[in-house]
Amino acid sequence: MNWRGPLIGLVIVLALAAAVVFVQRRDVREGRREQAELVFPYNTRDVVALRVEHELGTAEFRRDGDGWQRVAGSEAARPELVPEVLASWSRVRFIDVLEENPGEDELARFGLAPPAATYSAELVAERAAGRQGRSPRIEVGGPLPLSPGFYARVDGFPRVVAVSPEAVDLVVGVGRELFGEESTLPVDDDDGHGH
């Protein structure tokens, strides 16, 4: 009886199964997301500090009782807008992975070298426990060319992803207002604000 054929087939099946398990574990370790999942599923009570790097400046904020204080960066930064920034971030949704490990040239093509805006949050201890040492972070790049949304990198992972159009507020809406500039979003007739 020829046992080589079935043995080779079994080895191939086992190798494929091992590859699938490896990829799934890697994706879990590297922040795998589902379509339409919020990229920042936290509220303002979950955040104790925020760092913002925007084309208009850089600022760091820390929760102080019920309010926020600017602790470093631009003098123009407005700590009273931190809850609005966090609310805007919490509306941004993941769409799809676009590039797993982009090079510097590709990052520039996506508007991520440097990003238009970067937001990093420090969470309260009980919310940070399940994040395996990674702080929430979003780097917002340029707009997607064929659909509404933006290029981004999330939570410090190298992959470039597409995120929902709500990310525009972090760049030209409340992101500008945070540094004392006017929003360039169209004015909403209901409340007079651009976001």
Please give the model's pTM, rounded to 2 decimal places: 0.79
In a 10 Å sphere around its CB, with 0-12 CB exposed, 13-18 middle and 19+ buried, how is residue 82 labelled?
A: buried
Is the link from the previous residue into 114 a cis peptide, with omega within 30 of 0? yes
The count of other CB atoms within 10 Å of the CB of residue 153 is: 23
44-102 pLDDT, tens digit each: 889 999 999 999 999 999 998 889 999 999 999 999 999 999 999 999 999 999 998 89
Domain membership of residue 25 as a residue range: 1-30
Q: Is residue 194 part of a domain?
A: no
Verify that 17 and 50 share a domain, yes or no: no
Give the number of domains in the chain.
2
Give the pLDDT score at 29: 47
Together in a domain, 107 and 80: yes
CA separation for the pair 31, 24 (Å, rounded): 11
Q: Which of 85, 83, 91, 75 is nearest to 52 (CA)?
A: 85
